[in-house]
Amino acid sequence: MHLDIDKYAHIHSPVHRWDPRIKIASLGLFIVTIAILNKLPLIVIAFSISSLLVIVSRLPFSFVTRRLLPVTIFLSPFFIIIPLTMPGDTATTLGVSFNYGGLLIAAKVYLKALSMVMLSIVMIGTAPFVDSLKAMERLGVPSFIVQMFLFTYRYIFIFLLEMKRMNRAMKSRNFIKKTDIHTVRTMGNFVGMLLVRSFEKADRVYESMLSRGYDGGLKTSFNYTIARPDYFKAAALSVACVTLLIY
């Protein structure tokens, strides 16, 4: 679990210099385009463009590949299950029917998913996360939801520390997780305790916000201006999207 998506938000690259509003909108459009693609050659082209964007963004290779792990774990069973279970043109070897067309489907799905995840890493990883959220608000995401993102994001770190502390306390009492009812009960109480603490914290947070003049709105600075290169980059990517969709 790596929460440091904006660890490399402060390096310099053409993607980093892109206005977050236009960047999120353009890359979002590209992600949607890939989701619609179905032909292998087009998917390979989309994958190449996505990889190119990762290179241009100068995000470290290991940073990106580590983040491609969840999608790889989720999709690897597809390579076995789909060929074994898909009806149609199957080849039988040693009594097991295997559909090679299913292998192609799994490959297409995986390649599409890799491209889309790489794009989302470029989209979110090249600006401070809070700036990306503010850009989303400017793009029309309701303020209520953006504020929820901001608060939740903030408190995730606090509760991660809280959880670490509680874990250490349990370990010091010789608690070892096993596959038994005692473990489930203890972890159930653990989650309950986290909730109790969070409710108490939530009330205090709200009171302190009120005392600083919170009225339900978001008042933050957003220091970005859209310049001509921003539009050029967006135009180039849009042309790519339209071309891919036409073919």
Q: Which of residues 117-156 bind another protein (CB under 8 A)?
A: 117, 120-121, 124, 129, 132, 142, 144-145, 147-156
90 part of the interface to another protein, by CB under 8 A: no
> With CB under 8 A, what is the number of residues at the site for another protein?
85
> Is residue 75 a contact residue for another protein (CB under 8 A)?
yes
Name which of 34 and 49 has its Cβ closer to another protein: 34
Closest to another protein by CB, 85 vs 232, is 85
Among 168, 173, 178, 219, binds another protein (CB under 8 A): 178
Tokens 């590949």 -> residue: 65
- Give the C-alpha distances (Å, rounded to integers) separating 244 from 116, 134, 164, 178, 219: 15, 30, 47, 51, 40
**3-state secondary structure (DSSP) of residue 241:** helix
Collapsing DSSP to helix, strand or coil, 173 comes out as: coil
Minimum distance from residue 228 beta carbon to another protein (Å): 28
Binding residues for another protein restricted to 42-71, rule: CB under 8 A: 67-68, 70-71
Q: Out of 78, 98, 175, 224, which residue is the one contacting another protein (CB under 8 A)?
A: 78
Residue with smaller CB distance to another protein, 48 or 227: 48
Within residues 2-31, the interface with another protein by CB under 8 A covers 2-3, 5, 28, 31
Q: Are the CB atoms for 84 and 96 separated by under 8 Å?
A: yes
Runs of H (alpha helix) within 93-227: 100-125, 129-138, 143-172, 181-211
Place of tokens 């039988």: 92
* 226 lies in the binding site for another protein (CB under 8 A): no
Picking from 212, 225, 57, 239, the residue whose alpha carbon sits closest to that of residue 138 is 225
